[in-house]
Structure 1
Amino acid sequence: MLPIEKYFGKLELVYSFYGAMPTGVSVSETGRIFVCFPKWGDDVRFTVAEIVEGQLQPYPNLETNLLNPLNITMSFISVQSVFADGRGTLWVLDTAAPNFSEPIKGGAKLVAIDLNTNTIRKVYTFAEDAVLPTTYLNDVRFDFRVGKSGFAYITDSSSKGPGAIIVVNLENGNAFRRLNGANSTSPDPYFLPKVEGKILMNRNTDGSTSPFRLASDGIAISPDGKIIFFCPLTSRHLYSISTEALRDSTIPDFNLRYHVQYWGEKGASDGMITDAKGNVYAGDYENDSIRKILPNGIMETIAHDPRILWPDTFSIGPDRYLYVIVNQLHRQARFHYGKDLRQKPYSLLRIKIDELPAPTF
């Protein structure tokens, strides 16, 4: 027998998805697990769910998951990300952009759900200068130690327009774009993604092709809330910036780029998360791997496994496990001339890291 590639990292299967393709996962401080399913062409019966006794249940209920054209602010359209903040709230990020369309007017929103009552507590919508016609809201992180009610930081991973980090003042809902179109939030024009040994690009049903380009996607926040780590989806680079500079609207966007720090290559990542010690965890979708980046910049691979077929979103549970959604995103029909190469089930996996999630308060 010839030598073969070595795989490592003790992954455990948490849940298998036989229906729609999931993207987001978040584990609450009490161990509840929430997932979301954006409307990318699959039959999505509910876009947010909780895994309860081995079953998917629409969350907070089915009615909220049914688009109500008469009340789009109180119904979910197409949710890309969910985030349990560690203090009793599940935050739901609704792109309002099914199939990557232009966001439905007034539909893009950040929704706070009380985990004790399972009811919507607050909805933040966005002005047209924050969510552009090209915007695709992707992921969100929080810090409740600044301002009266805290701040949220959202990545815009647009494929057609400028990438950005959208800063939201949770006291008054004021939202503004930062690093709009900056190199650090933009796709790397020289990056050629290769997954499962093949070049990943848009391959259309008419035979035409184009490069796969997505802007800022992965985002993580340091345990003290002072640094945001972020990365474009089509790039191998990791960047950071101080949250104080992001929030300071007196710094013009043109000058804000000088506050960005470059951390080097970490592999091409979708989601990222930080633990309580400041370690950053990031997927490497080109190499079926999960990386850990220490605060001093040293990088190690904690899992390399053929089952890690596109590691999407990460979450750290109170059980000190790192949870990851694996969803075969690269096998979607849009990359293969209209032929869907995904094989069910999609997976929610976990690996023991013996660290707690970074606090938000």
Structure 2
Amino acid sequence: DIRFDLRKGTDGVAYITDSSDKGPNGIIVVDLGTGKSHRKLNDHFSTKAEKNFLPFVEGQPLMQRKPKQKPAYLKLGSDGIAISADGSRLFYCPLASHKLYSVGTDALLNESMDDKQVATTFKDEGFKAAADGLESDASGYIYSTAYEHNAIVRRHPNGMYETVVTDPRLLWPDTMSVASNGYLYVTANQLHRQADYHNGKDMRQKPYSLFRVKINNKPK
């Protein structure tokens, strides 16, 4: 996933999560003015999938199930990403995890700081719903998809959670965006129905959907 903060640098910066299930995970920072990039928190435990993570989606255990191969646990790392309202913290989470983390953006932007130094600004933000997407708004809420529950939840600045919406049509919600009209937009991409999870058979059903829900908050 990717998030932009045009308040940083001369022309803004982009933060990208590397969620690979085959190599080390991490966070990539791109200077939009120069095009230069660097990688932080490479293979840090907070960017990696939880060991033997087994979510239940649409009432079924979700594992990678490829033809002629043994079922395998999900190993997708750092994925969901959101910037705090003031731009000082970057919130992120592995896809295969029930945890939320954050790190200081000044540390991420500082190329001279090594990963050990960057990690001193890291914070474990506690338990949350398993998510494939995060978003934030100007009021300090952090929104999280909840793919096990066909839902979207949001974290208050004090750390408490509430459900924004739940609907059986929210089949693997992802790609959230807060708009200036006070709505939160979200896609339902049916990732869990892909062939990799059903012995080579694609179970997704078209058309795909884009939903919106009124949140009465503005983008940061």
Looking at structure 2, the residues matched to 288 and 149 of structure 1 have their Cα atoms a distance apart, in angstroms, of 37
Aligned pair partner of 2:40 in 178, 195, 208: 178
The 5 Å alignment of 1:268-347 reads: 268-347=130-209
Looking at structure 2, the residues matched to 175 and 152 of structure 1 have their Cα atoms a distance apart, in angstroms, of 9
Looking at structure 1, the residues matched to 115 and 73 of structure 2 have their Cα atoms a distance apart, in angstroms, of 27
Q: Which residue of 1 aligns with 2:116?
A: 254
Looking at structure 1, the residues matched to 155 and 18 of structure 2 have their Cα atoms a distance apart, in angstroms, of 23
Query: Which is worse superposed, 243-252 or 324-333?
Result: 243-252
Q: Does 1:168 align with 2:30?
A: yes
> CA-to-partner distance for each residue in 1:188-229, whole Å, 9 max, x for gaps?
114211111211111112243221210111110112211111
Q: Which residue of 1 aligns with 2:78?
A: 216
Q: Which residue of 2 aligns with 1:143?
A: 5
Q: Which residue of 2 aligns with 1:199?
A: 61
The 5 Å alignment of 1:1-361 reads: 139-358=1-220
Query: Secondary structure of 2:118's match?
Result: helix
Looking at structure 1, the residues matched to 169 and 63 of structure 2 have their Cα atoms a distance apart, in angstroms, of 22
Contact 2:53–2:73, Cα closer than 8 Å, also in 1: no
**TM-score normalized by the length of structure 1:** 0.59
> CA-to-partner distance for each residue in 1:151-206, whole Å, 9 max, x for gaps?
11111111100111101122222211000010111111142111112111111122
> CA-to-partner distance for each residue in 1:299-348, whole Å, 9 max, x for gaps?
11111221111001101122111110001110111101011111222210
Looking at structure 1, the residues matched to 57 and 95 of structure 2 have their Cα atoms a distance apart, in angstroms, of 13
CA RMSD, aligned part only? 1.2
Kindly state the Cα deviation for residue 146 of structure 1 after the two structures are TM-superposed: 2.4
Structure 1 unmatched runs, 5+:
1-138
Corresponding letter in the other structure for 1:140: I
Corresponding letter in the other structure for 2:172: W
Query: Secondary structure of 1:209's match?
Result: coil
Contact 1:266–1:291, Cα closer than 8 Å, also in 2: no
Q: Which residue of 2 aligns with 1:43?
A: none
Corresponding letter in the other structure for 2:173: P
Which structure: larger Rg? Answer: 1
Kindly state the Cα deviation for residue 257 of structure 1 after the two structures are TM-superposed: 2.1
Corresponding letter in the other structure for 1:223: A
Name the % identity: 50
